[in-house]
Amino acid sequence: MKKNQVFIHSPNGPVVPTITHHATALTTRVPAAVIVLSEEDLTSGTTLVADYLTNTHFVDDVKKSVQTVYGRTTDLFEVAYVQFVKNTKCCKESFKSGQSLSKVLIEKKFKDLTLVFSDNFPATFFAEYLYGLTLYNWKNELKSHAVGEQPTGLFKPFTALTVVATHFNPNCEHHKYLQTIVGPHIEARELTYTRADVATPEYMANYCRKFAEKHTDKVTIEVISGDDLAKKGLNLIHAVGKGSANTPQMVTLYYKGNPEGKDDVYGLVGKGVCFDSGGLSLKQQLMDKMYTDKGGACTIFGIFKAVVALGLKINLVCTMGYVENFISDKCYRNSDIITSYKGLTVEILNTDAEGRLVLADCLAYQQDIYKPHTIFDFATLTGACIVALGGSAAGLFTANDELATELEAKSKNTHQTFWRLPLDAYPRENTTNPTADIQNLGKAPWAGAGTAAAFLEKFVEEGVKWAHIDIAGMTLLNNDIHGVRAIVEYYKAKIQA
């Protein structure tokens, strides 16, 4: 029998390519290059292309897409991709140009790449462009190849970039900062899309343990598992996870980046449903995508890891609730009334509204034990948010107008938008219940995303700044997580204030 073996494209974790700078034109031949043109270059007749390639007869309308030009034996490149950037002074367009090029290149499977820019690209262009390019140097792929043969035709991330540009400064602080947070974002994305047969709650807890073990000087970890959750009063997360043979886990990482300000603590909370069948309220659609239902927990792990990598001077606590929502003789039931860690009683009207239950106990426990003054929770929480925003933005809910303004501004400047949605009297009243304190499903089937946020709000203590970010649409529709850089930049701003 001729057998195949699985090809792991990034066996040592996320690949952030090394970036080498050449201030002057190259003189040695390279396999592949990208020639990046500006509006000024097109006006001057694309002389940059002629400087490197004798075969300049590419598609005239280079503005529409990345064009491919094959070199002759006398050219410096075997193949070149010609890209056009209209506004070299716009950060968003710089980022989008790098992102779009990356999506082209991952299909070409180059290990090394040379990027050639004219003198018309200012120094401020490169950080965002290279951030967009390296951030999407990833593909959701797990394929095999024949044993003993090379894995041809399979995705491999590019590992080295050579930038040929007069005005690029590799020591620019903004560039170095962005390349530092690329790895945590890619890693969090990789975890989100790791299938549930691998990424069980225990796997995720052990993954966090291994990270903490590498940073024992500044990171501590607490893991509460299985029936120990119920013993501590964490009955909501325990109820959701007890139907699976893979026991539920609550993981809390604590980074002490500002030991002098021990009471100055920021909090992150994430929904980590490693697989969601819906429980007894069995899902009718999209169950094959429910390995991504841990996207919120993976996102905050990425934020946390970025903060540690940057060495930011803040104290940050990160609580992740990892569970599987399954059907068994032990699973929780519709009509159960469960007492939460906070003490509020919750009637279960739908077992597929499980994410808010996990988050509720995580929120309450984090505030009780670690006392953060500001908390952001991330979750792939509601289909209603996907209906409202699709894949264009994550839903942002908070009662704090100042916080909403800050987060919206940070998100727009970092190319992953948060869009504020209402959190007012209607969704708050929609969670009330005649028997228990609250219920986990709205009385009326409207404002589903806001109703979920209103449910979570009841577990936030008075005086604590809190925002809920629903990333369901981003994870399901965009094949990505959402908001890592925005939150990191929020923290950076607070340190500088």
CA 64 to chain centre: 29
- Read off the pLDDT of residues 416-446 as tens digits, 9 standing for 90 and up: 999 999 999 999 999 999 999 999 999 999 9
How confident is the model over 88-116, as a mean pLDDT? Answer: 88
How confident is the model over 89-118, as a mean pLDDT? Answer: 88
Burial of 6 (0-12, 13-18, 19+ CB in 10 A): exposed
- Short-list 253, 246, 377, 208, CA closest to 323: 246
User: Average model confidence (pLDDT) for the chain?
Assistant: 93
What's the confidence (pLDDT) of residue 497?
67
Residue 9, pLDDT > 60, answer yes
Residue 309, pLDDT > 70, answer yes
CA 260 to chain centre: 30
- CA angle at 168 for the pair 165 and 171, rounded to the nearest 5°: 140
Identify the helix (H) or strand (E) that includes residue 470: strand 465-470
Is 356 catalytic? The answer is yes
How confident is the model over 389-405, as a mean pLDDT? Answer: 97
Residue 71, pLDDT > 80, answer no
Amino acid present at 333: R
Tokens 């819906």 belong to 278
What Rg value do the Cα atoms of the chain yield, rounded? Answer: 24
Give the contacts of 409 (CB within 8 A, at least 6 positions apart).
none
Burial of 431 (0-12, 13-18, 19+ CB in 10 A): buried
Give the active site residue among 283, 313, 443, 494: 283
Q: Are 253 and 308 in contact (CB under 8 A)?
A: no
How confident is the model over 351-356, as a mean pLDDT? Answer: 98
Q: Which residue has the higher pLDDT, 72 or 220?
A: 220
Tokens (6 digits) for 97: 């140009």
Q: Which residue has the higher pLDDT, 65 or 157?
A: 157
What's the confidence (pLDDT) of residue 436?
98
Domain boundaries, the chain: 4-169, 182-496
Give the contacts of 104 (CB within 8 A, at least 6 positions apart).
66, 81
pTM value? 0.96
Residue 18, pLDDT > 70, answer yes
Residue 76, pLDDT > 50, answer yes
Give the contacts of 238 (CB within 8 A, at least 6 positions apart).
226, 227, 229, 230, 248
- Short-list 456, 189, 226, CA closest to 323: 226
- CA angle at 218 for the pair 495 and 311, rounded to the nearest 5°: 35
**pLDDT > 90 in the chain, percent:** 77
Residue 28, pLDDT > 50, answer yes
What 3-state DSSP class applies to 297? helix
Q: Class assignment of domain 182-496?
A: alpha beta
Please state which CATH number belongs to domain 4-169: 3.40.220.10
How confident is the model over 408-412, as a mean pLDDT? Answer: 97
What's the confidence (pLDDT) of residue 171?
96
What's the confidence (pLDDT) of residue 45?
56
Give the active site residue among 189, 356, 428, 465: 356
Residue 67, pLDDT > 80, answer no
What's the confidence (pLDDT) of residue 59?
45
- Read off the pLDDT of residues 35-64 as tens digits, 9 standing for 90 and up: 898 888 877 655 666 666 666 555 456 666
Tokens (6 digits) for 94: 């710089």
**DSSP state at residue 135:** H
Percent of residues in the chain assigned helix, strand, coil, to nearest 5: 35, 25, 40
What is d(CA 85, CA 240) in angstroms, rounded to the nearest whole number? 49
Residue 108, pLDDT > 80, answer no
Residue 470, pLDDT > 90, answer yes
How confident is the model over 222-241, as a mean pLDDT? Answer: 98
- Backbone torsions φ then ψ of 179, nearest 5 degrees: -70, -25
What is d(CA 444, CA 180) in angstroms, rounded to the nearest whole number? 45
